[in-house]
Amino acid sequence: MKREIRFQGKKLEYTLIQAPRRDVLIQALEGGLTRVYAPKRMPLSEIDALEGRRAGEIRAMQQALAPAPLRSGECVRVEGRPRRLRLEKGTRESFLTETEWVLFCPDPENARQVRDRARSFLAEMALVRIRERLEVYAPRIGVSYGRVTVRNQRTRWGSCSAKGNLNFNWRLILAPEKCLEYVVIHELCHRREFNHSARFWDLVQRQMRDYQVWKDYLKKNGAGLNF
Ligand SMILES: [Zn+2]
């Protein structure tokens, strides 16, 4: 449920999730979003009041979340390997070398544009890698799949719909290659087992013996795989 309050003359919006819990949890999300988990029986006026009292703190949390601008010379890991970013003015095609990432931007001073360009470059690269891996593993697992998309998601690495459409997180390209491969295998195995049963994990393991290592890697380092 969307709620809105006023704080120091400014609008503060938040999404309220009423859950069977005893205390209130306030989560600041990327992009200035706020999510509030509150006990089911707590009156809305009380939640608004609490949100108002903590508004300053929420602002601070959101500012901390706002990513620092990407700059030339910065090191970004792509497929787990460090590359030095070089921002260039122009509209030519960006490219990666073994050690460098040359990113063309019409306006390299515009932090938002740089980030958007950087993300879409990597999202395209992620899609290519994912398609390569799908072509290898789908026949091995003996499954087909539908549409493949790459998105900007906060928490999920991949998903598989009942119709077999697959969706992946572009940020997988920032992780070691094996992580992306593991997520591809994971989603393809859902085409045979649409659950997380022991049978499902057995299928995953048959394709990647050490999948647990890469699954854990994403769990531990996932939040940092971003810019
Ligand atoms: Zn799954």
- In the chain, DSSP assigns E strands to 2-7, 10-19, 25-29, 33-39, 75-78, 81-89, 95-96, 100-105, 148-151, 158-160, 166-169
pLDDT confidence tier of residue 78, bands split at 50, 70 and 90? very high
Distance 213 CA to ligand 1 centre (A): 16
Same domain, 133 and 200: yes
Tell me the C-alpha distance between 174 and 180, whole Å.
9
Task: Summarize pLDDT for 25-50 with one digit per residue, the tens.
Answer: 888 876 677 888 999 888 988 888 88
In a domain, 47, yes or no: yes
Task: Summarize pLDDT for 115-161 with one digit per residue, the tens.
Answer: 999 999 999 999 999 999 999 999 999 999 999 999 987 779 999 99
Q: Is the pLDDT of residue 67 over 70?
A: no
pTM of this structure: 0.73
Distance 156 CA to ligand 1 centre (A): 10
Q: Is the pLDDT of residue 18 over 80?
A: yes
- Assign residue 182 the CATH number of its domain: 3.30.2010.10
> For the chain, what is the domain count?
2
Same domain, 45 and 129: no
In a domain, 44, yes or no: yes
Residue 219 burial (10 A CB sphere; 0-12, 13-18, 19+): exposed
The pLDDT score that the predictor gives to residue 142 is: 98
Proportion of the chain in helix, strand, coil states, percent, rounded to 5: 45, 25, 30
Distance 189 CA to ligand 1 centre (A): 8
Residues in CB range of 213: below 8 A, 6 or more apart: 178
Dihedral-angle region of residue 12 (phi above 0 means left; psi in -120 to 50 means alpha; beta otherwise): beta
- Domain residues for the domain of 20 are 2-65
The pLDDT score that the predictor gives to residue 1 is: 86
